[in-house]
Amino acid sequence: MRWPITLALVLLLVPPWTGDGRRALFAPGLRVTATRFEPRGGWPRRIGALEPVGAVSLTANQRAFGGLSALALHRGQAILLSDGGLVVRLRIAGGTVSTLGTAELTDGPETGWRKASRDTESLVVDPHTGRAWIGYERINMIWRYGADLNHADAASYPLAMRDWGVNSSIESLTRLNDGRFLAFREGGLWQDGARAALLFYGDPALYDTPNASLRYLPPPHHSPSDAAVLPDGDILVLNRRVHLPMRFEMTLVRIPARSIRPGALLRGQVVARFGDTLGRENAEGLAVSQERGQTMIWLVTDNDGAFWRRTILAKFRWRG
């Protein structure tokens, strides 16, 4: 009767699930804690066109928190989206940060079991309705969600994005002031030269929305990681350059609104080089807000799931 012993050994040595691991989810009671962050030597008075207002380092009581890839500001809330399809809502007021709630994109490609099926890298939130558009990098899709950020009501797989690659696809999505949407392909992290971009003449989550191709030329050795729109219609593009081991150089570029047209090669002026001010962390989320007539620029970093790295949420006053 050696068979039961052999079977027991196999069961002990072979994991019960040999496919992709289940993506991490939040348990009830997530609480985010913010501690003040300052770069070594303190903040400079200006970083190019940006005036530092302040920054915090975010931690939480659950390991699933982190890996933040997109950021939106909506009705006094900071909406943080991870590259595993997890959403955290924070309220930031009076120098304090409080956790308002979470979501996990219940609807989306496949079943949501695999982390790769919720590789969400970009986020646009409608300021009036709270509806959200989310770009899925590995699957090259754009989904539209209700304000709860759990349930979707539209999705598209744009033909022009189907050859954007698996881990080099839609990294940035922004909504222009006239209602059009602009998506940027990330491309390879060590790739040089222009990257594909796509201009949607309406809702990008609808299959019949017309679109046009164009290209974006980032600074040398950089790749676009997010984009946002200034009140005057110009586009800010956040770009990153990777230095091993896992150190990042972040650069902010301003693209004139008038240059956004079919077939164009988008290029712009560098308005900020962050150097060591963000701790050489990987900034992946960019948002713009208005406060008492002033324009604020927000950045959030992605710790890539590494517990020893920081998740920084930083705020700057626009002086461009």
What is the residue-level pLDDT of the chain in tens, covering all 320 positions? 444 544 444 334 444 444 566 788 999 999 999 999 999 999 999 999 999 999 999 999 999 999 999 999 999 999 999 999 999 999 988 778 999 999 999 999 988 888 888 999 999 999 999 999 999 998 999 999 999 999 999 999 999 999 998 777 899 999 999 999 999 999 877 788 999 999 999 999 999 999 999 999 999 999 999 999 999 999 999 999 999 888 999 999 999 999 999 999 999 999 999 999 999 999 999 999 999 999 999 999 999 988 899 999 999 999 99
Does the residue 8 lie in any domain? no
Does the residue 185 lie in any domain? yes
Does the residue 15 lie in any domain? no
Residue 244 has a CB neighbour count (10 Å cut-off) of 5
Task: Please choose, from the candidates 147, 136, 148, the residue with its C-alpha nearest in 3D space to the C-alpha of residue 112.
Answer: 136
Kindly list the distances between the CA atom of residue 272 and the CA atoms of 60, 78, 182, 258, in Å, as whole numbers in the listed order: 30, 23, 22, 21
Q: What is the pLDDT of residue 294?
A: 97
Does the residue 25 lie in any domain? no
Does the residue 16 lie in any domain? no
What CATH number is associated with residue 242?
A: 2.120.10
Q: What is the pLDDT of residue 20?
A: 62
- CA–CA gap between residue 152 and residue 147 (Å, rounded): 10
Q: Which two tokens stand for residue 186?
A: 């990330």
- CA–CA gap between residue 242 and residue 16 (Å, rounded): 37
Task: Please choose, from the candidates 291, 296, 286, the residue with its C-alpha nearest in 3D space to the C-alpha of residue 318.
Answer: 296
- CA–CA gap between residue 15 and residue 299 (Å, rounded): 39
Consecutive H or E run containing 292 = none
pTM: 0.92
- CA–CA gap between residue 95 and residue 315 (Å, rounded): 12
Q: What is the pLDDT of residue 110?
A: 87
- Domain count within the chain: 1
Residues in Cβ contact with 122 at an 8 Å cutoff, skipping those fewer than 6 apart: 69, 70, 134, 135, 170, 171, 172, 173, 183, 226
Does the residue 17 lie in any domain? no
Q: What is the pLDDT of residue 169?
A: 86
Q: Is 83 helix (H, G, I), strand (E, B) or coil?
A: coil
Domain boundaries, position 311: 33-318
> What DSSP designation does 167 have?
S
